[in-house]
Amino acid sequence: MEWYIGMDLGGTKCAAGIVDAEGRLLARDSIRTGAHRPAREILDDMADQAIRLAATLGADRARLRGIGIGSPGTPDNHQGVVLYSSNLPFRADTAIREALSERTGLPVHLENDAACAALAEARVGAARGVANAVTLTLGTGVGCGMVLGDRIYHGFNNAAGEFGHTVLVPGGEPCPCGRRGCFEQYASATALIRETRRAMARRPASLLHRFARDEGKVSARTAFQAMRAGDDAASEVVSDYIRMLSEGVTNLVNILMPAVLLVGGGVSNEGDSLLAPVRDYVEEHAYYGENVPHTKIALAALGNEAGIIGAALMAAESDAG
């Protein structure tokens, strides 16, 4: 059995693990990224992390075949760099592959983090065996990974998949990308938290306050918890959130018509409270036409491990050519 190291790199942390060719996670490690630091320091820490994981294999380290890195932004695997990332200090001339390969002695492969999650779900997760599947990750932003024709779809410039930055509401909420009304400003966990806080400011008697106080913060769960307790303000927040998410999902279905569309990320923990109304909306509004098979909309299965597993499987598939 051959093994690979998968690294799920973000602005806050880098989660990594050893994964076998069947997608089984054998060991795990996590470090703080500290994205404000120079790129060289981050790469040194990532190399140390990979070396530390490799050491857990002992004499079996020789069966370790490579490293896969899932990074936010626009990685270019051919050049071994990240062409653009808004929350990491990497530039197009930051030799990521070279730096890590030199330290670890292993081949290094780069891919977008959302694409890695989508690949993991398509190979060993909720879309296993499906050649055309899309995974939406609802977190700080909205990630979108596309496996089309059984391969990650990159676009001609490796930048495909930024569905979170398609405009849903012209002139709407400002987005860090510089535009207004982007999908992720309405469908991300960040957006749900923002709207929950706004509702709390308007409705001081709402149960939202109690649930936020019990948890010690306003989270993406707060509105759903208060809604289930019968709170009207929370119900409005959740209803508006699901409507905007559903509009975006319908648009994505109409554009790509994947066999399966998965929803992951922290908000997806709400299960059918979230997904059932989204399915109903898409069934009513997607442009299927008569006798046309419908996209299956389901929850992603791999949770926080999807990025690690997908990065490792990407490295394995790159290694196999």
For the chain, which domains are there? 3-113+305-320 (3.30.420.40), 126-301 (3.30.420.40)
Tens of pLDDT, residue by residue over 280-320, are 999 999 999 889 999 999 999 999 999 999 999 999 998 77
pLDDT of residue 321: 66
Tens of pLDDT, residue by residue over 273-288, are 999 999 999 999 999 9
d(CA 301, CA 178): 33
pLDDT of residue 100: 96
Specify the pTM.
Answer: 0.94
pLDDT above 70 for 115: yes
pLDDT of residue 216: 96
Tens of pLDDT, residue by residue over 135-189, are 999 998 999 999 999 999 999 999 999 999 999 999 999 998 999 999 999 999 9
pLDDT of residue 60: 86
d(CA 210, CA 221): 13
d(CA 112, CA 298): 22
Mean pLDDT confidence for 20-31: 94
% of the chain residues with pLDDT over 70: 100
Mean pLDDT score across all residues of the chain: 95
Mean pLDDT confidence for 190-212: 98
- Give, as one character, the DSSP assignment of residue 108: E
Secondary structure (3-state) at 51: helix
